[in-house]
Structure 1
Amino acid sequence: MRRASRTFASVLCAAMAFAAASGSTSAQTTGTHKPFEWPASFVVLGDGYPHSGDTCRRLGESTATANYLDHMAMLVGCPGSSDSAAARAILEHHRYARAVGHADGVTLISISTEGAPIDSQKSVKPEKPSPISATGTLPCERGNGQTRTMCKFGVEHHGDRSTTVVVYWPDGATRAIFFGVSGRVIGTAASASDQPMPGNTLTRKNAGINLISIGNERYEIEDSVLSGG
């Protein structure tokens, strides 16, 4: 009888030790998913954007946001880069959202409250796209190790002398590049029917060729394409 009691006590102690170890492991695992701690440089409004509990937050006026506030837009902050899932969910699905900056580990997104993108009055894109007036191919390239190739394109010349070049990638994706009357890039979008957005775009010219970088995308568009020559 005494022997059986000792065996039972040993089993009970082993079970309690296992439970304690499991609880410790669980606590450590839970501790790895800490919520983002917003820096003191931000005035955080609400408990999530666009829904309660979401990672992003509306931001008020502070030293970190003073240069990005606009009376015609709300400012939203998302932890991480503009490529984070939370930021992309807003930028890709909200028609009037655009990334305007990055501060203290937070991507700043401006969302127009007037039913149109900020600075849209400066764009010269017509309300209805003009028919494609010219087609051809041009050098195009994507980053992430993808090689340079040739993409088909179509050109829309508008009555106000602005131009839209639509590039067709081999995988079916498109990129619309909007040029003002001066021949300078004024914005880009996924398609010609979308509103042009400034985005992460760099342009330089070399021997009559516009070398355009949009994020990790590269395009070479000749002046003759824009002029219709």
Structure 2
Amino acid sequence: MRIPTRTPHTLVAFGVAIALAGCGPSSEVAPASTPAATPDNAPAESVEPETTSAFAWPASLVVVGDGFPNTGDACRRIGESAATVNWLDDSASLAGCPSADAAAALGGTIVGEVEGVTLVSVPNSPATAGDGEGQGDALVEGTPYHATAQVRCEGYKGAAPGFCDAGVVRGLETGPYVEVSLSDGRKRTIFFNADGSFLTFSTAEADGTAALPIESRRDGDMTIAILGTERYEVPDAFVLGG
């Protein structure tokens, strides 16, 4: 029997095959792979921060100013309307906030919610002696006012020009306000900014004042505040004190 002769080339090929077999992957070591994206490791989507500028304030609320307690804040002062009449209080400001968190940050009492607006009653800051402009005024005995006077007024229910009793509350972070007593016992509240400039009137849908145009102008050291046909002349010294 003739035994085939192995050539050098055959031996080399056989050795390479054995070497390659020894370098194969071990059954105990899994090959490295790139994990597929899953909900856990997928990149987070960019989320735009919420802004209150786009918040739609409902028509059922009388929204006053551009922020509460400071201009630019998320909350707003809320005036009298059929939706809020049960929550108004002379000793507190009613504010509306686009979220419960913003309302809680005001430190008042959350009293309700109207069409997505959280309402919070914020106690008016009491006047403290020597604590800044308008502060330290003693209250007029038997009233909530720091001063009382008569201001020129006209136009309420067709009234001729004359004088109306008025009282002012100062020392509030949101600015002072003047309450004017009308001929039938009602009061017309005029809000001012902290610097004494006119802000707005308190109006209500129930008596039709919410639909009336509001404007103001200056005459020397006096603000002339106008609500529909009503006109009130309020001196700066009365609003801010001495």
Interval containing the TM-score (normalised by the shorter chain): 0.3 to 0.5
How does the TM-score come out when normalised to structure 2? 0.42
How does the TM-score come out when normalised to structure 1? 0.44
Name which structure has the greater RCO, CA cutoff 8 Å, separation 6+. Answer: 2
Select the structure of larger CA radius of gyration: 2
Structure with the bigger percentage of helix: 1
